[in-house]
Amino acid sequence: MSLRLTAFTLFPRFFEPFLEEGVFSRGLKQGLLAFDCVNPRDFAEDVRRTVDGHPVGGGDGMVLLPDVCSRALDSVQSPETIVIHVSPGGKIFNNVWAKHFAETAKHVVFLCGRYAGFDHRFVSARSHHEFSIGDFVLSGGEPAAVCMMDSISRFVPGVLGNAQSASADSFEDGLLEAPQYTHPHEFAGQEVPKVLLSGHHAEISRFRRIEQIRRTAQQRPDLLLQLWNTLSRSEQKMAEAIWKSGCGKTVTRSASR
Ligand SMILES: C[S@@+](CC[C@H](N)C(=O)[O-])C[C@H]1O[C@@H](n2cnc3c(N)ncnc32)[C@H](O)[C@@H]1O
């Protein structure tokens, strides 16, 4: 059974490069993923194929028409369809959600807004989730939908193949990934850490765990604080020392919870 992903979009051509390259394209070729688009413009009923109207109450930008959008969504939706409103006003999409949809969904539709977005009545009546990809505003939902589709596809069994795995990636154990190195052993005056050349697997794992804690403390104290009670006392001390030295971003433990 493949996972079907549908982009609800006024600009279906936006997705073409994404279908032709990389992991997502391989998933399509292997039949593990299916992709299609629905364009609300095809469901407009006037000669000019109008999809938007002026905001009621005044204001800038045009709002996508709820009746036209509903007809478009009807054409692809079935009882098993999950509808995601892609929006800066949504919860931040993350790996936990990506894995959830990869494991539980059969068909996901991504409502990609344009202009001032959708009429609220359409998304409130028809969407199950509202997700953002960050605290910034894009001019359309398509780049955000590509991000979500790509991250979901990585958790569909078989899509990454044996050579790659999501299990050592950032966020898998709640931490950022440890820094990675390849050849040459010396570059720009910096050497690959000696322990990684030792072949000693236990030492390498220990080193990587320390580096994960260090990097997460520096870059994403919010993530580390969520795991605080699962860290060893020495890991907690290391994080506290990083924060005390001013190397990390300042977050108070109570503020982040
Ligand atoms: C110009 S934006 C509309 C912004 C909307 N007026 C607001 O302030 O919330 C057009 C569309 O881009 C998409 N979009 C913009 N920023 C996004 C973000 N950070 N995450 C997800 N989708 C986003 C949404 O689909 C939105 O309807």
pLDDT for the residue 252? 47
3-state secondary structure of 256: coil
85: pLDDT strictly greater than 70:
yes
Point out the ligand 1 atom lying closest to the alpha carbon of residue 85.
25
| pLDDT given at position 175 | 97
How close is the Cα of 37 to the center of ligand 1, in Å? Answer: 19
Name the percent of the chain lying above pLDDT 90.
92
Please give the average per-residue pLDDT across 205-223, as a whole number: 97
pLDDT one-digit tens code per residue, 11-22: 999 999 999 999
| pLDDT at residue number 255 | 38
Beta-carbon contacts of residue 87 (< 8 Å; ≥ 6 apart):
113, 117, 123, 130, 131, 132, 141
Instruction: Please say if the pLDDT value at position 1 is more than 90.
Output: no
Residues having CB within 6 Å of any atom of ligand 1:
86-89, 112-114, 116-117, 132-134, 136-141, 144
* Tokens of residue 127, six digits: 């969407």
**Of the listed ranges 117-121, 150-154, 156-160, 248-252, the one predicted with least confidence:** 248-252
Of 37-41, 68-72, 170-174, minimum mean pLDDT range: 170-174
Burial 27-53 (b: 16+ CB within 10 A, else e): bbeeebbebebbbbeebbeeeeeebbe
- How confident is the model over 182-198, as pLDDT tens digits? 999 999 999 999 999 99
- The full set of domains in the chain, from first to last, is 3-153 (3.40.1280.10), 167-257 (1.10.1270.20)
User: Smallest Cα–Cα separation from 94: which of 152, 51, 145, 140?
Assistant: 152
Ligand 1 centroid–CA 147 distance in Å is 14
CA 118 to CA 61: how far, in whole Å?
Answer: 11
Question: What's the pLDDT band for 167 if we cut at 50, 70, 90?
Answer: confident
Highest mean pLDDT among 57-66, 162-171, 240-249: 57-66
User: To which residue do tokens 């953002």 refer?
Assistant: 132
Query: Which value, in Å, is the radius of gyration of the alpha carbons in the chain?
Result: 22
Determine the residue of 86, 115, 118 to mutate for testing ligand 1's pocket, defined as the one with the most ligand atoms within 8 A of the Cβ atom: 86
pLDDT tens for each residue of 241-257: 999 998 765 444 443 33
- Specify the residue with its C-alpha closest to ligand 1, atom 18: 88
Q: Is the pLDDT of residue 125 over 70?
A: yes
The overall average pLDDT reported for the chain is: 94
Task: State how far Cα 15 lies from the chain centre.
Answer: 16
Mean pLDDT of 16-41: 96
Query: Quick one: tokens of 58?
Result: 């005044």
Q: Which atom of ligand 1 lies nearest, measured to the CA of 61?
A: 6
Which is higher by pLDDT, 164 or 127?
A: 127
Assign 164 a pLDDT band (cuts: 50, 70, 90).
low
**For ligand 1, atom 15: residue with the closest CA:** 138
What is the model's pTM? 0.94
What's the pLDDT band for 225 if we cut at 50, 70, 90? very high
Quick check: 163 pLDDT over 90?
A: no
Mean pLDDT for the stretch of residues 93-115: 98
Measure 153 CA to ligand 1 centroid, in angstroms.
22
